[in-house]
Amino acid sequence: RTTTVSVIKADIGSLAGHHRVHPDTILAASRVLAEAKRKGVIKSFYVTNAGDDLQLIMTHFKGVDNPEVHELAWTAFREATKVAKDLGLYAAGQDLLSDAFSGNIRGLGPGVAEMEFVERPSEPIVVFMADKTEPGAFNLPLYKIFADPFNTAGLVIDPRLHDGFIFEVLDVFEGKAVELRAPEEIYDLLALIGTPSRYVVKRVYRKSDREIAAVVSSERLSLIAGRYVGKDDPVMIVRAQSGFPAVGEVLEPFAFPHLVAGWMRGSHHGPLMPVGLKDSKVSRFDGPPRVIALGFQVKNGELIGPADLFDDPAFDEARRQAQMIADYIRRHGPFMPHRLGPEEMEYTTLPEVLKRLKDRFKPVEMGYKPKVKHEAGEAADVD
C-alpha cells in the first residue's frame, strides 16, 4: 500500500495586512479536515500557517491529484474564507482565483505539493513552507541538498546516495519539463535553475531506483491570473534519512539566507530567513521572506509530529545575516536589483506607467542603430 502526503496551501486573507493567518481561519479549515478524517477521506492532517498562507498538510491513501482530496482542500479554503470575510481580514479569498471547482485544485490558485510512496519502516519527511517568495526560491537549496557534496556528506560517503539524483525542471512559461541528472549534468542544471523565476525544480528522484525524494508547488499566480495577485509563496516536501539526505543535510542550505524574489508587493529581492513557527509572520517591508520547516514521521499513513526544525539557536546566525542583508538591500529603495527586473514586473503597474509615457518618448540621434533585441528569449548579437 502506498501513502500520499499532500500539502495544499492558499492565502485566504490575513490579519493586519499580509502579516499572518488569523487563528479562527485555521480553526475553520481544521474543522473541515477533522470531519473528512472521521469519514475516512484522509488519514491524518496538520493545519498551520506560513506568514499569511494557510497550510493544509494531509496524509491519505488515494494518490496524488485525487479529486476527493483536492475538493476537500478547496472546501477548507472556502470555509476559512467565509470566516476571513466575516472578520474583514485583509485580501479575503486572495489566492482563490476561481469560483468553480472541477476535479483538480491546480490552476485555481492554491499551491500544491504531493508525493506518493511505499513507507519505509521509518519515514522522516520535512515540509518546508515559505511566505513572500516564489517556487524557484527552493532551487538553490534543492541543488545543495541533492547535488552538492559540500552540503550533503552522504553524496560522498553513503553508497545509497552515491549514484546521485534526477532533477525534473519545469519551464513555467512554456509548460514544459526536462529531466537533468546530477552529478553528470550539473552545469546544464545550474544554467537553467539559476533563473528561478522561469525554471523551477518540480521534483527530485533518486537515480538508482527513481524513488521520489522531493516535490515543490510550482503554481505561479500571476501566470494563472494574468495580473499581480501576490506572490506564489511555495511549499516543498522532502524525504530524509535511510537512502536520502539526512534531516540535517536537508536543513543545512537554509543556514545561508540566499536572495529570493518576493517580499513587498511581490516585487523585491530579499534574504530568505529560516524561522520557527512562533516567527511565522512578516513585518518589516512585509518581510523579510520567511521559511519554516516542520519535520514529521509518517507511519501507517499517520503524521507523527511536527518538529519545529528552524526553532533552534543553530539558525540564529542565519537570521542575523538575513537582517543585515535586509538592511543593506533595502537602502536601494526602488532600484534594481532590490526591485525585481522588468520581466518580472510585467504583471505589476509598470506596464501602465510605460503606456502612459509612450507618446512622451522622442527619438534620439545616438550615432548608431542598436542591434540588441529586448524581446524575452531572443539572443543578443553580442557575447
Binding site for ligand 13P (CB under 6 A): 11, 18, 51-52, 94, 131-132, 230-231, 233, 246, 248, 264-266, 286
Cβ atoms of 339 and 81 within 8 Å: the answer is no
Site track for Mg ion across 231-270, x = CB under 5 A:
x-x-------------------------------------
Which residue number, 114 or 233, has a Cβ lying nearer to ligand 13P?
233
Least distance CB 103 / Mg ion (angstroms): 24
Least distance CB 129 / ligand 13P (angstroms): 12
Which residue number, 178 or 297, has a Cβ lying nearer to ligand 13P?
297
Residue 230 interacting with Mg ion (CB under 5 A): yes
Which residue number, 41 or 246, has a Cβ lying nearer to ligand 13P?
246
Active-site residue, 328 included: no
Least distance CB 298 / ligand 13P (angstroms): 19
Q: What is the C-alpha separation between 52 and 182, in angstroms, rounded?
A: 35
Which residue number, 123 or 233, has a Cβ lying nearer to ligand 13P?
233
Residue 52 interacting with Mg ion (CB under 5 A): yes
DSSP code for 197: T
Residue 11 interacting with Mg ion (CB under 5 A): yes
- Which listed range, 101-109, 179-187, 211-219, 224-232, lies at the site for Mg ion (CB under 5 A)? 224-232
H-helix or E-strand spanning residue 293: strand 290-299
Reading the block at residue 137, the C-alpha cell is 526560491
Distance of CA 173 to the CA centre of its chain: 17
Active-site residue, 9 included: no
Three-state SS letters, 115-157: EEECCCCCCEEEEEEEECECHHHHHHHHHHHHHCCCCCCHHHH
Q: Exactly one of 11, 53, 232, 233 is catalytic; name it.
A: 11
Residue 131 interacting with Mg ion (CB under 5 A): yes
The entry of ligand 13P, Mg ion, none that residue 22 binds, CB within 5 to 8 Å by partner kind:
none
Beta-carbon count within 10 A of 363 CB: 5
Question: Which residue minimizes CB distance to ligand 13P?
Answer: 230
Least distance CB 118 / ligand 13P (angstroms): 23
Residue 341 sits at φ, ψ, to 5 deg, of -70, 170
User: SS3 for 360?
Assistant: helix
Angle at which helices 139-147 and 186-193 pack, to 10 degrees? 170
Active-site residue, 90 included: no
Residue 134 interacting with Mg ion (CB under 5 A): no
Which residue number, 220 or 231, has a Cβ lying nearer to Mg ion?
231
Our CA angle for 280, 293, 345, nearest 5°, is 65
The entry of Mg ion, ligand 13P, none that residue 196 binds, CB within 5 to 8 Å by partner kind:
none
Residue 18 interacting with Mg ion (CB under 5 A): yes
Cβ atoms of 290 and 273 within 8 Å: the answer is yes
Residue 148 interacting with Mg ion (CB under 5 A): no
The entry of ligand 13P, Mg ion, none that residue 70 binds, CB within 5 to 8 Å by partner kind:
none
Least distance CB 49 / ligand 13P (angstroms): 11
Which residue number, 197 or 208, has a Cβ lying nearer to Mg ion?
197
Q: What is the C-alpha separation between 285 and 352, in angstroms, rounded?
A: 24
Reading the block at residue 17, the C-alpha cell is 495586512
The entry of Mg ion, ligand 13P, none that residue 265 binds, CB within 5 to 8 Å by partner kind:
ligand 13P
Listed in sequence order, the DSSP H helices in the chain are 23-38, 67-86, 139-147, 154-157, 186-193, 221-225, 247-251, 316-330, 350-357
User: SS3 for 68?
Assistant: helix
Cβ atoms of 57 and 43 within 8 Å: the answer is no
Q: Exactly one of 62, 171, 228, 311 is catalytic; name it.
A: 228
Least distance CB 73 / Mg ion (angstroms): 16
Number of residues that bind Mg ion (CB under 5 A): 8
Nearest CA-CA partner of 5 in 119, 122, 133, 101: 119
Burial 211-226 (b: 16+ CB within 10 A, else e): ebbbbbbbbbbbebee
Least distance CB 123 / ligand 13P (angstroms): 16
Residues contributing to the site for Mg ion (CB under 5 A): 11, 18, 52-53, 131, 230-231, 233
Catalytically annotated residues:
11, 228, 231
